Amino acid sequence: MAIDIKHINTSTNNRVATPTTDKSSAKNQAISPETTTAKTVKSDSVSITPQAQQLQNAQAKLNSLPEIDTNKVEQIKAAIAEGRYKIDADKLASNIAQFENELKDLN
């Protein structure tokens, strides 16, 4: 049903509006102030998508990680350069597998 809004009575003394409908409906319908108010009162709501929740969780995890320890990085660089730094292949593989599992959990 189309409503012709050009002919709605908007005076402050008369709160009843009678819109003109299209040719398919010959009746005019009166709208009471209670009905109009009930239709215009809306409440706001926000919903967060699962992807946004995952991003929030990832951001929280990143924020909980400590800052980079530049002294430790320099010590490791020096140990590598001097040949004192030994790589534990089993520990490295375990850490890589753990990292990949954590990435899967984020998706």
Most confident region among 25-29, 31-35, 67-71, 89-93 by mean pLDDT: 89-93
pLDDT in tens, 30-57: 555 555 555 677 888 888 899 999 999 9
Confidence of residue 74 (pLDDT cuts 50, 70, 90): very high
Q: Is there a contact between 16 and 30 (Cβ–Cβ < 8 Å)?
A: yes
pLDDT in tens, 80-102: 999 999 989 999 999 999 999 99
Q: Give SS3 for 46.
A: coil
